[in-house]
Amino acid sequence: MELVLKPIGFIQSKQVEPYQASRQPDDISEPAILKLEPGHNFEQALQDLDGCSHVWLIFGFHQNSNWKPLVKTPRSDRKIGVFATRAPYRPNPLGLSCVKLISVMGLKLEIGPNDLLDGTPIYDIKPYHPESDRIEESQIKWFENSMHPKMKINISPSAEDELDFLEINGVSELRSFIQRQLEYDPTNGDKKRVEKNSSYWTLAYRTWRIDFLIAEDSVGILAIRSGYTPQELNDQDDTYKDKAIHRKFVAHFT
């Protein structure tokens, strides 16, 4: 039986690029708005939903056009069957995410931290059931035996000052980017823009660079710096429209 799905709505979010969204909903994710399509009597379908604290969203991986039978996750040291993971590379590009429901305003649903990107199509909404959706004996053996434990992120005082400065000046996503990119397998160059220097590593985020060290179970953030050379900063070409904040940053911390 072939099933044709039509979105009932779309996500509106500040999370535009895949690296801006967490792999699962977490506290550093952005909230979002789910805007349902008009003209389908969804107003009645939403009746009583505001009494639900959390909902399951069935969505589409709209930025994935192919599937892989085996995938390597941030927690695994080997490839895992895609059906044993939540990776987006699926035969039918469907995802399932549980999110906090903050409010229902007409056809707009405000949801809490989530792992969804802007423009994500939503195909259905179901309430999280506190009795039947909680399974005490659940387990994922490959996950428990993972070779990539979660690393603790330690940020130096000087790097904290640099992050605070950037957040005040509108570069707000660096801190969450660092957490997500470095908490598992931080030196994996296949999945991250990282390079080894003489005594430390550097992670690239757009035109910014994050220098860090690796200990046994922790990552130490040494510094945040501009990815532009002094010559490039003086150049009038500004492809990414961000040289003004880079110049301000360099002037402040030089």
CA-based nearest residue to 97, from 113, 109, 84? 113
pLDDT, position 1: 83
Question: Domain spans of the chain?
Answer: 9-141, 152-253
Mean pLDDT estimate for the chain = 91
CB-CB neighbours of 180 under 10 Å: 20
Residue for token pair 């072939």: 2
Superfamily of domain 9-141: YaeB-like (2.40.30.70)
Residues 6+ apart with CB under 8 A from 96: 56, 57, 58, 59, 86
Q: What is the pLDDT of residue 184?
A: 86
> What are residue 250's phi and psi, to 5 degrees?
-65, -40
- The residue-averaged pLDDT of 237-250 equals 94
Phi, psi of 156 (to 5 degrees): -65, 155
The per-residue DSSP string of 57-124 comes to: EEEE-TT-----SEE--TT-SS-EEGGGS--S--SS-EEEEEEEEEEEETTEEEE-S-S--TT-EEEE
pLDDT digits (tens, 9 = 90+) for 53-73: 999 999 999 988 899 999 988
pLDDT digits 0-9 by tens, 70-113: 998 877 878 999 999 988 999 999 999 999 999 999 999 999 98
pTM of structure: 0.76
pLDDT digits (tens, 9 = 90+) for 174-217: 998 898 889 888 888 877 889 999 899 999 998 999 999 998 88
| Superfamily of domain 152-253, CATH level 4 | RelE-like (3.30.2310.20)
Q: Assess whether pLDDT exceeds 90 at residue 11.
A: yes
